[in-house]
Structure 1
C-alpha cells in the first residue's frame, strides 16, 4: 500500500539553500525513496516570480514522489497542515553582517512564522530552523508556538558536525564514512565547540580513538577549532555567498536521522531544547550529541568532559544566554 504523503514546508524557498534543498526533498533524499511528499514553498513578495520558476522546474522534472506543490507568499497557506517545517527564511547573512543585527531583524520574522505554525501546522510538526542565528531563532519560534512540543523544535548544527568530519578525514587522509561521534556543542556561531574527545574511526583492527592517530594535539585544540568556528565566514569570502549545497545536505541529514533513527553506537549533533544535561542551563536551544529512534531524539548521557571542554561549552552557552536576552529586548 502506498504511503500517505508527508507535507514539508520550506520557508525562504527561493533562496540559495532553498534552491538546493527543494529538489533533494522531492527526490527522496530527506525522507526516503518510497515516501511521497507535498511541498509547501514560502517566500516574500519580492521573490514571488522566482518561487513560480521553482514550481515550474518541479513540474518539468516529473518527479514520482512529488504529489503536490504549493508555492506562495501567504504564510497561513504555507503552514497549513505541514508535518515537517524547514525554516530557511530570514534576514540573509553577508560577510559584514553582525549576528546581533541578524537577530534583531529575525525576531519579528520568527514570531510571525511561529504564530502561523501554532495555528495551522499539524500537531506533531517537526521543525528545523536553519536561518541564522539558528539557535535563538528556534528559541523565539518555541516561545510563540507553545502547542508544538518543545522536543519538536530544533536547529541545524549538523552542518558543523559534517564539516568537522570533513576536516578530520582530510587531515588523516581517510574517508568520512570511517569516522563517527564528533560533537558540536552549543551555538551555531564562532563560539561553537567541535569536540573530538569521543571520535573514533574504523581500521582493519576495529575502531580506534582519533586521538591515537592525530599526533598533533596542538592542531586539535587550535587550528581545527578555529577553522570550524570560522568556516561559514570563509565560505562567504570565497563564494561571495553563504553555504548552500552543504547546508541543504546537512538539513536533509538532520531530518532523515531524526525520522528514521541514528545507527547503533553512533550519535549526531542537533540543536535541541536543553534539559540541564552537562550543566547547560535548561531552556536554551543548544547543540548536543543526540541519538534518534522512532522519530524522537535523546541527548547522549555520561560522556566524560575534561576541563578544556567544560570551558568551551560554558563559553558558547554564555553567548546563547546573551542572545536570548537581546531577543527578548527586541520583542518588548
Structure 2
C-alpha cells in the first residue's frame, strides 16, 4: 500500500513539476511596491508552490535602467519557479497572453494638482492598459488594479476591455481590510488571525467605511462579535474608522514614502484568494463591479464589498443587516465614486 501511495505521490509531483508556466504582469515594476511584491510572486507565495511563473515587468521608458537592476536581483534569487523575466516598456509585449495582471503603476498626485487633473491623467493610462488587455491578453485574465484612484482606474480599464468579463476586474481594498483587522486585533489583544469578517465598503479613499458590525473575534478561545470583543462603541464608530481611512497618509508622514510593504502583502493576499478561494465561512473585501447588488449601491461602479471566492469566482456576501450608521457611511463613499466615475467618463469620451 505504501509503495502505491508513494508512486501516486511521485506521479502527482511529476505532473505538478511539468505544469505550464503562467504569465503574470506587474506594471510600475521599477517602483517600490513592486520591489516588495515581485519576490513573493516569484517564489510561489501567490499562485502556488508548484506553479512556474513568467514575470512580465512593465514600466515607462525612463525607468528601464532601474528595471534592469530589478531583473538582475530576481535572477540572483535563483528561484526555481521563475522561468523567465521579461522587462519592457511596450504594451504589446507586456500584455501578451496574460493569465494575471497586477496594475500597480499610475500617475501619483503632485503638489498643487487638482483631483480632476489627476483623474484625467489616469484615465489616459488605464484606457491604454484596458485596450491592451482587450487586444493582447487572454480573455480569462484576472486583473487587479492597485494604482490610485484604484476604483475608478479599474472601472476605466474594464470599460476599455469590453470582451473581458467585468467579473475578472477587481481593485485593491485588501490593504484597508488588513488594516481594519489588525486594529481590532491590537485593541482586543489577540493575533490578527483571530479576527475575521471585517468589511471595507466603497472607495479606496478617505471616505471608505471600515465596518466591524459583522466581524467575529476569537477572544482567547471564546468566539464573540467584534463589538463585544472591543467593548468600546465610541472607538469603533470614531477613531477606529479614521485610523483605517487615514493610515496611508500616516505612513507617508512617518516614512516619507508610501506603504509599500503592507501594500505588497495585501496584493499577495488578494490574488492568492482569487486563485485558491477564501476559507469556509470567511469573507474578504475587494473592489468589484457593482451590478444588481442587495445593498442599494449604485450600478456601474467599482465598489468594495465583502466577497467569498470559489473556483476563481467571487460572490458578494448578501443579506447582512445594515443599520442607519452604516447606511450613511456606505452612501457617502458611493456618492464619491459616482462623482469620480462621471468625471472620468467625460475624459474617456474626449
Question: For 1:22 and 1:268, how far apart are their aligned partners in 2?
Answer: 23
- CA-CA distance at 1:207 after TM superposition: 1.9
Q: Which runs of 5+ in 1 are unaligned?
A: none
The total of aligned residue pairs comes to 332
Aligned to 1:171: 187
Query: Any idea what SS the aligned residue of 1:14 has?
Result: coil
- CA-CA distance at 1:203 after TM superposition: 3.6
Kept after mapping to 2: 8 A contact 1:82/1:121: yes
| Residue 298 in structure 1 maps to residue 315 in structure 2 | yes
Kept after mapping to 2: 8 A contact 1:195/1:309: yes
Kept after mapping to 1: 8 A contact 2:173/2:286: yes
Question: For 1:274 and 1:149, how far apart are their aligned partners in 2?
Answer: 13
Question: For 2:117 and 2:45, how far apart are their aligned partners in 1?
Answer: 34
Aligned to 1:209: 225
Question: For 2:216 and 2:203, how far apart are their aligned partners in 1?
Answer: 24
Aligned to 1:18: 34
Kept after mapping to 2: 8 A contact 1:99/1:133: no
Aligned to 1:34: 50
Aligned to 2:300: 283
**282-291 or 236-245: which moved more?**
236-245
- CA-CA distance at 1:189 after TM superposition: 0.2
How do 1:27-176 residues align onto structure 2 when only pairs under 5 Å count? 27-93=43-109, 99-176=115-192
Question: For 1:223 and 1:258, how far apart are their aligned partners in 2?
Answer: 31
Kept after mapping to 1: 8 A contact 2:190/2:220: no
| Residue 323 in structure 1 maps to residue 340 in structure 2 | yes
Per the alignment, do residues 95 and 183 of structure 1 end up closer, same or farther by CA in structure 2, a change over 3 Å counting?
farther
- Runs in 1 of length 4+ with deviation above 4 angstroms? 93-99
Question: For 1:60 and 1:266, how far apart are their aligned partners in 2?
Answer: 38
Kept after mapping to 1: 8 A contact 2:217/2:229: no
Q: Which runs of 5+ in 2 are unaligned?
A: 1-14
- Deviation readout 1:288-317 (Å, 9 max, x if unpaired): 000000111000010000000001000000
Question: For 2:217 and 2:229, how far apart are their aligned partners in 1?
Answer: 9
- CA-CA distance at 1:242 after TM superposition: 1.2
1:188 to 204, 224, 229: 204
RMSD: 1.3
Question: For 1:19 and 1:261, how far apart are their aligned partners in 2?
Answer: 26
Question: For 1:44 and 1:79, how far apart are their aligned partners in 2?
Answer: 14
TM (normalized to structure 2)? 0.92
